[in-house]
Amino acid sequence: MKSRHLAAAAAAALLPLSIAALGTTPAYASASPSASASRTSLPQTLSPAVARSQAKGEVADTQQISVAVSLKLRNTAELDRFITAVSTPGSVEYGHYLTPAQFAASFAPSASDVEQVRSYLRSQGLTVTGVSANRQVVDATGPATKVEGAFGTRERTYVDPAAGNRHFFANDRPASVPSDLAQVVQGVSGLDDHTVRQATAAPHATPSGYGPTQYDAAYRFNQLGTDGTGQTVALWEFDGYKSANLSTYNTQYGLSGPAATTVSVDGANYDSSPGDGQGEVELDSEIVRGVAPKATQLVYEAPNSDQGEIDMAAKIVSDNRAQVVSISWGSCEPDTTPSSMSAVNNSFMQAAAQGISIYSASGDDGSRDCTRSTSGSGVKAVDFPASSPYNTGVGGTNLTLSGGVYSSERAWSSSGGGVSTQFAKPSWQTGTATKRTVPDVSSNADPNTGFAVYTAGGWQVYGGTSAAAPLWSGFSALYNQKAAAAGKAHLGEANPALYQVAKGSSYSTAFHDVTSGSNQDFSTATGYDQVTGWGSPIGDGLANALLGGTGGTGNTVTVTNPGSQSGTVGTAASLQIGASDSASGQTLTYSASGLPAGLSINSSTGLISGTPTAAGTSTVTVTVKDGTGALGTASFTWTVSGTGGGGCTAAQLIGNGGFETGSASPWTASSGVVDNSSGEAAHSGSWKAWMDGYGTTHTDTVSQSVTIPAGCKATLTFWLHIDTSETTTSTAYDKLTVQAGSTTLASFSNLNKNTGYAQKSYDLSSFAGQTVTLKFTGAEDSSLQTSFVFDDAALNVS
């Protein structure tokens, strides 16, 4: 795995198999700094590296130091209860996730808490550089002498002999704050800069190692009938990538999907000149692409520091653009300040409440995760963030294939695993330990059975749990697409559901139980163990068990994908869908979404028949359910062309115009846009497209491609409601643009607010004979929400 040494820690900004520092001598004492009469110490803010390194002197008074002050969450008992309920299948609240605004209203630090911290920092001569959108972090910078005065400590320089006499700075004692401020401040990070880098492996001329076809077949991801369409995966990175390398990988394996997009955190963007971690970033992206090729990838890039990690966690959950987060960076718990871990974990709690799945590599040093860092190989330790109760820790195996399919697995001897010293045992965790144990699941990670990766202009074979985490993240994207087609909630925090399945009767059809091998201190066992967790995924079996919602029955429904279909307006169509059940005697029920207008499916036989009435291309998802609730799906495209004559058959061309399927398809929409909550009413029915409304900088899009037959008159209509908190009557701060292809049909803003829905109508006859993409783009600025809500869209031709 790629390990990010938390800046307050002594471990590593590790990349796979990096070498970290080991300090040897204690720091010397210093004179006490001046402080107010009543201050409260923050004992979790002292870097463990200080005690093992040699102090050399004081940091220059003028040296600029940036800090991240983390604030305490509110109503934490209720938050704990809600996260358990929203993440546990069978609960009344399961899958009813919060928006960032809802989380902020109930659990985030208050605006007055933030202002109290800002005022204090400014009064101490520091410059406040930002406040996270979720109000959990206040960033500030200033000269060392001002930082020392604000936090009651001294900043000193140190040398770490075990890391080649590398120099770093750190506070020589725990930070403190005025006692009244301690009521809202949880910790301070950035008071040290103890970080390390590592080199990458040599490239190969041609790809070797497992490619997508092999690992998708081994774990039966190719049996899910999904490709990640409509899903977004965030990659958690401290280095950059080259788009050309990702393109070479895609071309080699015939993959296509949305190009990866960089999201900068604290001004970081390494893509113009990636560092030693480039291979890690490209590994993460390529494995996710290999499993879920159509998923959108957001590459969050942050400075490799405590502050960078804390701010990245806060930004990901505040943006709320991704349903899945893949993390391949970390550090061992003993070398990481608890203050920084707690600050990041607060954002992970928000992620769980919002329904975001997080998969983290469990480490590549077995049960001695500090082997290449300050605490050393004599300490049993696990890796953070995998040890967070709101992350699914992913361990490693050695995978063997036979004839291109799964043959066997044994534990990779370097698979990270053990018992956390930081986090208590969650309610869903298996075992007798009183603390959280790691990992939860696993998949191939042994470099001897590694993955083909194209990076830095050449092919390499990569292993490590940093390959296992993105593989599981890709599976989560496939599952979420399948769940949406079945009208089920996406997975969210995965562990409660995964453990429920694993403890149920479907365990053997959902997981490969790895029962051979060990790491330094733990051996595999039947069921759960601290080397491979519950084991590796059986993709279709696990997805079906999760869709069952209560641990599943063990049945597997398999739907045969018929491949792309075509037809013509006015010509009868007939397609028989094939499906099978692993259990005998089951009655199968068929349903389909996204069918071309005029077609329907027989719920008993699976025959799709009828006469298409409108031209266009749609994505059809067929769902087959047996009597126990087990589900199988298959998705494919169906293109209907015009009649070819000079006339025009009257038809309505937009699919799912009222969004009443409960999912976007055949629209492509930003996460959370298709909505049935009571916050904004639908024009008719229960569902609508609700764009923006966050009160922060945000952009939502909804689009659908339609083919307008030649010779037709075409009219686009939709109902629009605009609700805003902006009070201006002259300035358009938040805007909605409606386009047909590159042509802008209309623009709306907060100035067009209305109390109900108004119907809009536009002539699209000029597009007859063409395929055109209808796109709605809502862009919101940094304050005061505007909601653009549209419903019941139609494109009528005659």
DSSP assignments along 326-387, one per residue: EE---EEGGGS-HHHHHHHHHHHHHHHHHT-EEEEE--SSTTBTTTTSTT-TTS-B-EETTT
Average pLDDT over residues 18-36: 30
Burial group, residue 456, by CB count within 10 angstroms (0-12, 13-18, 19+): middle
Final residue belonging to a domain, choices 484, 513, 548? 548
Active site residue 237: no
pLDDT for residue 206 is more than 70: no
**What's the confidence (pLDDT) of residue 173?**
92
What are the pLDDT digits (tens) for 418-475?
999 999 999 999 888 899 999 999 999 999 999 999 998 899 999 999 999 999 999 9
- What is the per-residue pLDDT for 553? 43
Q: Is the dihedral of CA 269, 232, 454, 363 positive or negative?
A: positive
Q: What is the mean pLDDT of residues 281-299?
A: 97
Confidence of residue 711 (pLDDT cuts 50, 70, 90): confident
What's the whole-number average pLDDT of the chain? Answer: 88
37 lies in a domain?
no
Task: Please report, in angstroms and rounded to a whole number, the separation of the first and last CA atoms in the chain.
Answer: 59
Same-domain check for residues 522 and 596: no
Residue 633: pLDDT band with limits 50, 70, 90: confident
Instruction: List beta partners, residue 794.
Output: 717
Question: With helix as H, strand as E and coil as C, how does 654-717 read?
Answer: CCCCCCCCCCCCCCEECCCCEECCCCCCCCCCCCEEEEECCCCCEEEEEEEEEEECCCCCEEEE
- Integer Cα distance of 109 and 103 in angstroms: 10
Ranking 9-23, 150-164, 277-291 by mean pLDDT, the lowest is 9-23
Whether 705 is covered by a domain: the verdict is: yes
Q: Give the number of other CB atoms < 10 A from CB of residue 771.
A: 14
As given in the structure block, the two tokens for residue 718 are 């939709």
pTM of the model: 0.69
pLDDT at 7: 30
Query: How many structural domains does the chain have?
Result: 3
The pLDDT value recorded for residue 210 is 94
Task: Give 436's strand partners.
Answer: none
Q: Check 148, 155, 284, 792 and give the catalytic one.
A: 284
Q: What is the CATH number of the domain that holds 606?
A: 2.60.40.10
Joined tokens for residue 503: 């403890």
Q: Count CB-CB contacts under 10 A for residue 731.
A: 9
Structural domain includes residue 440: yes
Q: Which residue of the set 280, 319, 513, 780 is catalytic?
A: 280
pLDDT at residue 163 in the model: 58
Q: Do residue 435 and residue 407 come from a single domain? A: yes
State whether 471 and 612 are in the same domain: no
Tell me: do 374 and 313 sit in the same domain: yes
Report the alpha-carbon distance of residue 43 to residue 617 in Å, rounded: 61
Which pLDDT band, with edges at 50, 70 and 90, does 647 fall under?
low
Task: Please give the full DSSP string across 414-468, using - where no structure is assigned.
Answer: T---EEEEEEEPPTT--SS-SEEEE-SEEEE--GGG-EEEEETTEEEEE-SHHHH
| Residue 80 domain-assigned (yes or no) | no
Higher pLDDT, 90 or 23: 90
- Asked if residue 643 has pLDDT above 60, the reply is no
pLDDT bin (cut points 50, 70, 90) of residue 699 is very high
Q: State the pLDDT confidence band at 591, using cuts at 50, 70 and 90.
A: confident
CA angle 88, 294, 444 (to 5 degrees): 65
Mean pLDDT of 487-494: 94
Place of tokens 């590459």: 299
Identify the three-state secondary structure at position 217.
Answer: helix
Separation of alpha carbons 326 and 357, rounded Å = 9
- Name the range with the highest mean pLDDT among 341-350, 424-433, 722-731: 341-350
Nearest to 711 by CA among 642, 639, 641, 774: 642
- Which whole number is the average pLDDT over 570-583? 86
Q: At what angle do helices 76-87 and 495-502 cross, to 10 degrees?
A: 50
Mean pLDDT over residues 158-181, rounded?
A: 84
626 compared with 360, residue with greater pLDDT = 360
**Distance, CA of 594 to CA of 707 (rounded, Å):** 15
Please say if 284 is a catalytic residue. yes
Query: Are residue 412 and residue 528 in the same domain, yes or no?
Result: yes
Q: What is the phi/psi pair of residue 598, to 5°?
A: 100, -10
Q: Which helix (H) or strand (E) holds 105?
A: helix 100-106
CATH number at residue 278: 3.40.50.200
Is residue 66 over pLDDT 90?
yes
Q: What integer is the mean pLDDT of 761-787?
A: 91
Comparing 361-365, 552-556, 695-699, 718-722, the range with the smallest average pLDDT is 552-556
Lowest-confidence segment of 6-20, 93-107, 322-336, 576-590 by average pLDDT: 6-20
Q: 576 with 505, same domain?
A: no
The residue from 189, 331, 373, 466 that is catalytic is 466
**Structure-block tokens of residue 189:** 């990070």
**Domain limit, last residue, from 548, 577, 601:** 548
Domain carrying residue 469: 212-548
Q: Are residues 519 and 587 in the same domain?
A: no
Higher-pLDDT residue of 197, 599? 599
Residue 370 placed within a domain: yes
Between 481 and 584, name the one with better pLDDT: 481
220 and 357 together in one domain: yes
**Rounded Cα gap, residues 573 and 732, in angstroms:** 49
Could you tell me the pLDDT band of residue 73, with boundaries at 50, 70 and 90? very high
Considering the domain architecture, whether residues 624 and 765 belong to the same structural domain is answered as: no
Smallest CA-to-CA distance from 48 within 301, 269, 337, 456 is with 337
| pLDDT higher than threshold 80 for residue 68 | yes
Indicate if 531 and 581 belong to the same structural domain.
no
Asked if the model's pLDDT at residue 646 lies above 90, the reply is no
94/493 Cα distance (integer angstroms): 11
What is Dmax (Cα atoms) for the chain? 92
User: Do both 216 and 355 map to the same domain?
Assistant: yes
CATH number, domain containing residue 738: 2.60.120.260
Under 8 Å between Cβ of 189 and 310: yes
Instruction: Tell me if 475 is assigned to some domain.
Output: yes
**Percent of the chain having pLDDT more than 90?**
66
pLDDT at 19: 21
Q: How many helices (H) and strands (E) does the chain have?
A: 13, 45
Distance (Å, rounded) from C-alpha 451 to C-alpha 474? 15
From CA 350, how far away is CA 171, in angstroms rounded?
30
Q: Specify the pLDDT at position 28.
A: 28
Residue 418 lies in a domain: yes
Residue 729 lies in a domain: yes
Residue 23 has pLDDT above 50, yes or no: no
- Alpha-carbon distance of 531 to 748, in angstroms, equals 56
11 band by pLDDT with thresholds 50, 70 and 90: very low
Q: Give the domain-ending residue among 522, 548, 574.
A: 548
Which pair of structure tokens corresponds to residue 278? 């480039």
Look at residue 635 and tell me whether its pLDDT is greater than 80. Answer: no
The answer on pLDDT for 203 being more than 60 is no
**Distance, CA of 621 to CA of 665 (rounded, Å):** 9
Tell me if residue 523 falls in helix, strand or coil.
Answer: strand
Q: What is the pLDDT of residue 37?
A: 54
Match 């986090």 to its residue by tokens: 423
Same structural domain for residues 635 and 748? no
pLDDT band at 331 (very low <50, low <70, confident <90, very high): confident
